[in-house]
Amino acid sequence: MSVPSAENTGADQRTTASRIPLLRRAGRALIATAAATALAAGLTPSIANAQEVGTLSPESVANDALGTISPESLSQILYLGNLPGSSGSSMMGIANTLGFSPNMFAGPPPPSPQPNPNITETKVVGMTERDGRYERWLVDSGDMKRGITVEVYRAANPGAPFLYLLDGVGSELPSGFMQWGAAEQFANENVNLVIPTGGQGSMWSDWNQQDPVLGISKWEKFITGDLPRLLEPRISSNTNRAIGGISMGAGAAVTMATRHPDLYKGVFGVSGCYSTDALGQILTRFTVESRGATLNNMWGEPGNEQWVAHDAMINAEKLRGKAIYMSSGTGVANPGDWAAYNNDAANFVTGMALEQATGQCTHAADRRLADLGIPADIDHLPTGMHNWSYYSKQIPVAWNSIKHSVGA
């Protein structure tokens, strides 16, 4: 399996050459605003090649953003915008206020899945590939009028419980989980992995309307209804389930756990957003529109009752009694992150900004669950960007936190 260098919600790394100048201008504007925030707070980041910190200005940062500032300094500047109570200085909030479109950071949208009128019944068609314990199943969805490939990684024990894993915005095949070592991570774990694919930019949700780009999306029904009913009995007689996800899939996993509380005994989210408040709406818009889809086709106008119904923190009481794990980084780069982004400054900045934003979401979830007296394991890590280099390290931690809930 090929391994991508990083995954960014709302930021496809296959940036076309025609977008590079625009991306650089967007990156400079974001960096300059973050620098202004830091300087206004009386804080001075470490700037490579700057002779005196006192000469630093937002303008100089903007002008030299892709030249004299090291990637480490850029990530420190972003971190300084993540001070307690500074949600208004969120880089994603700044991008939204300045009118940046997610399409500026996205590559070409995926081919639109054309509905097949001949698919009228939801059924398991069969297994299309097997490699040891790794399998690919084709499930026809009568609701979505297309075939869905579902990855399965079987436990050695035929009576093991299930862990559903929801991928990020790209939802590739093979999934990010399998590309980044899930087979090795779960080789000795008593759990069957179930990983749907093909849900690019969908929030893994049931959409109100067919989208010209994403087609018909009825993912929540597929994941919470069709797969337990049709696929699980072919794998194990154990009906204990947990669900987890990264990025787009993290918010979806926690939301599904609130909307179907009897279905899952444990839930985790890595680098996700769990509310549909102001920041949650921005991140949702960037996720959906980064794949060329139309946001209002999902749940209608942001802020309506459907958006509230998909706010996991408003509905957090439904999580009581479940094993819960969440984690996020700060957007501060770890060694090797710059290389992982192929020296692409615009996507590097986007990766920092997205993780800063999901860090704020995770802190908000931490406060909300604490206010309700709902126990949860939540890690706020001092570094980490919005990419698979970070996610893959946290998935085993997340699973170890919640696996007792399903008897694994």
> Would you list the domain boundaries of the chain?
17-104, 123-406
In the block, which residue shows the tokens 């880089």? 91
Q: How many CB atoms lie within 10 A of CB 124?
A: 16
Contact 295, 349 (CB under 8 A): no
Q: CA-CA distances (angstroms) from residue 369 to 292, 319, 325, 362?
A: 34, 9, 11, 11
pLDDT value for 6: 43
Distance CA 332, CA 386 (A): 10
Contact 387, 6 (CB under 8 A): yes
Distance CA 311, CA 308 (A): 5
pLDDT value for 83: 44
pLDDT value for 301: 96
Contact 239, 214 (CB under 8 A): no
Phi, psi (rounded to 5 degrees) for 98: -80, -5
Minimal CA–CA distance to 386: which of 265, 239, 287? 287
Sign of CA dihedral 218, 224, 225, 230: positive
Distance CA 311, CA 199 (A): 20
pTM, 2 dp: 0.84
We find that the CATH architecture of domain 123-406 is: 3-Layer(aba) Sandwich (3.40)
pLDDT value for 147: 97
Per-block mean pLDDT, blocks of 10 residues, the chain (408 long): 38 38 47 42 35 36 45 58 44 68 59 89 96 97 98 96 96 94 97 97 97 96 98 97 98 98 98 95 92 95 97 98 96 84 80 90 97 98 91 97 97
In terms of phi and psi (left: phi > 0; alpha: psi -120 to 50; beta: otherwise), the region of 90 is beta
pLDDT value for 346: 75
pLDDT value for 78: 54
pLDDT value for 40: 37
pLDDT value for 349: 80
Distance CA 120, CA 111 (A): 22
